[in-house]
Amino acid sequence: MNIHEFQGKSLLSQFDIPVQPGIVLDLQSNLTSLKTLAERGIVTFEKVGREKTYRLNREEVATQLRELANIIENCDCKRGSHDD
């Protein structure tokens, strides 16, 4: 999404016109993270010319969150607790 599209969506949403959500990313600082997420199927991207559109794979995010919750539930330790 380019900055004009982002600004347009912001303006339309102020008037309660439904728009598909999106965010602007500084890809230089997030490139490694996006690559890792793409390798794991959490995000996908489509490249048209010089522009890339990233999409979140919600099913994969839900699966990963369930797995993380199971790990936390099965852990005997509690974060931040101390037996003094």
pLDDT of 32-64, one tens digit each? Answer: 888 888 898 888 888 888 777 788 888 999 998
Q: What percent of the chain has pLDDT over 90?
A: 10
Instruction: Calculate ∠ Cα 24-27-32, nearest 5°.
Output: 130
Q: What percent of the chain has pLDDT over 70?
A: 74
Q: If pLDDT is split at 50, 70 and 90, which confidence band does 67 have?
A: very high
Q: Tell me which residue of 54, 58, 71 sits closest to 1, measured CA to CA.
A: 54
Burial class (CB in 10 A: 0-12, 13-18, 19+), 29: exposed
Instruction: Calculate ∠ Cα 36-34-21, nearest 5°.
Output: 135
